[in-house]
């Protein structure tokens, strides 16, 4: 399994060109799993400036010798719509999802994430660390060790109030993580949901859990 080009990297813009370039450079410097990467897809927002696109095109010249490198700028209003379009281009077994603005502090994280993901069929997501802009600290208050992993979802829930609606949140989010492509596509379209908490609830109903590393592999730039 590890020798096949079975993984696609999706890197999404956060609207800040500096953040995206720094995340991309950090990923290229720290990624030890080049042998199994099939594609690198960068998803831009409609309002990303032309200078960023030119810089990415310049980097693409060197990277295309290593990866099937694509830069896409979907005509989409939301992050979920952009993700739906990007996933339509993916045919590998795994997706390594990165969001601009996060740097990398370790190595071998893709190989270790695949190992962790396949440790249980119920695992839908392996987070690279236990902090994210979406996951509140309350989710992490109760930690249960599973080997080198911390078992988050299903063992402790946080009550989240979002737009005057309460959710029991299990920790699913779109920061730097590894997924099975089949799990992401099983949901149909992410754009049919209003927010990440509804997505989280859908996976919870389908008996899916989230794992996160004890070690810190990423940090905000």
Domains of the chain: 7-220 (3.90.550.10)
Distance CA 55, CA 140 (A): 38
Residue whose C-alpha is closest to residue 94's, from 74, 71, 117 = 117
Answer yes or no: pTM beyond 0.75.
yes
Percent of the chain with pLDDT over 90: 30
> Cβ(190)–Cβ(84) under 8 Å?
yes
Strand partners, 213: 149
pLDDT of residue 137: 37
Phi, psi of 128 (to 5 degrees): -80, -20
The mean-pLDDT minimum among 7-21, 84-98, 199-213 falls in 199-213
């Amino acid at each position: 399994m590890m020798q096949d080009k079975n993984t696609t990297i999706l890197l999404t813009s956060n609207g800040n060109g500096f953040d995206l370039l720094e995340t991309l450079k950090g990923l290229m410097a720290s990624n030890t799993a080049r042998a199994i990467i099939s594609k690198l897809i960068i998803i831009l927002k409609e309002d990303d400036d032309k200078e960023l696109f030119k810089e990415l095109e310049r980097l693409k010249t060197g990277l295309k010798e290593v990866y099937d490198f694509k830069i896409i700028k979907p005509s989409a209003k939301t992050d979920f719509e952009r993700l739906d379009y990007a996933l339509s281009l993916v045919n590998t077994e795994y997706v390594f999802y990165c969001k601009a603005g996060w740097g990398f502090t370790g190595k071998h994280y893709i190989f270790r994430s695949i190992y962790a993901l396949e440790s249980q069929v119920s695992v839908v997501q392996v987070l690279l660390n236990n902090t994210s802009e979406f996951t509140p600290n309350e989710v992490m208050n109760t930690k249960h060790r599973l080997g080198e992993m911390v078992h988050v979802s299903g063992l402790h829930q946080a009550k989240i109030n979002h737009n005057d609606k309460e959710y029991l949140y299990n920790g699913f989010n779109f920061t730097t993580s590894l997924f099975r492509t089949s799990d992401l596509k099983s949901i149909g379209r992410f754009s049919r949901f209003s927010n990440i908490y509804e997505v989280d609830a859908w996976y919870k109903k389908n008996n899916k859990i989230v794992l996160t590393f004890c070690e810190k592999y990423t940090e905000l730039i």
